[in-house]
Amino acid sequence: MGPVLLRVEGLTKTFGGVRAVDGVDLEVSPATVTGLIGPNGAGKSTVLGMLAGAIRPDAGRIRLGERTVSGQPPHRMAQMGIIRTFQTASLFPQLTVLENLLLGFKPWRGERPRAALFARGWKRQEAAQVGRARPMLAQLGLNRHENTPAASLSGGERRLLEIGRALLAEPTVLLLDEPMAGVAPHLGELVAGLVDGLVTTGTAVVLVEHEMRVIERLCHSVVVMADGKVIVRGTLDEVRTNQQVRMAYLGQ
């Protein structure tokens, strides 16, 4: 799979005496999609939460390249290039679709009151960001909604908007938590196309998903979790025939 971009070693998290994640190891290479699958309660979203900085690990280490980033808060993780989306699209419903998309860009000079009053050039920077955001709106099929509140979008359209915002943040590692949940098939193809395009730029994607057709369509490798642990990793064909996987999913 090439060089390792994101390395996870012994990641552990306990909630109220229940070990939700138990010594997870994970390696992710650039320009790949890694599927993280398993039954409900396996600990997949908790792993994403720790990778994104929203949940502080009890033990273990997260390395991005040569840098240890374990325990950093979400905004620091985002600044370093680890960007996350959620099971339910996280948007600002009263802001317009374009305004929500613009939030994906790194901080502008005019975002702080003092800079807006005294700094030069921030209006040109803002115009440039809008110029970059509008092609993304068109790619998402949301350009007709540019000036409407995000609350007016369908569930699938909100999902697209959240992913588009994440892409404008230029992630090094993109964490997608069930991006196809509640998304109509034609919008799901748009999401898949966005992921394919992102991988060609060298970005690594970690994808939590229950739909095996999505895993088969997008993923280069698969990591299977159960009861907070990694039980097997490999290609989808390899894990499909694994007896531990069959027991975790089917109780066989």
pLDDT at 243: 83
Q: Residues with Cβ < 8 Å from 140, sequence gap 6 or more? A: 160, 161, 164, 190, 194
Q: What single letter denotes the amino acid at residue 179?
A: P
pLDDT at 128: 81
Q: Distance from CA of residue 73 to its chain's centroid?
A: 16
Residue count of the chain: 252
Quick check: 226 and 248 in contact, CB under 8 A? yes
pLDDT in tens, 93-118: 999 999 999 988 876 555 556 555 55
Residue 140's nearest CA partner among 114, 122, 167 is 167
Q: What are the structural domains, with CATH classification, of the chain?
A: 6-94+170-250 (3.40.50.300)
pLDDT at 167: 92
Q: Tell me the C-alpha distance between 8 and 216, whole Å.
A: 24
pTM equals: 0.89
Q: List, for the chain, all residue ranges whose pLDDT scores fall below the cut of 70.
A: 1-2, 107-122, 249-252
pLDDT at 86: 86
Q: Tokens 């009861």, residue?
A: 227
Q: Tell me the C-alpha distance between 51 and 83, whole Å.
A: 9
pLDDT at 88: 79
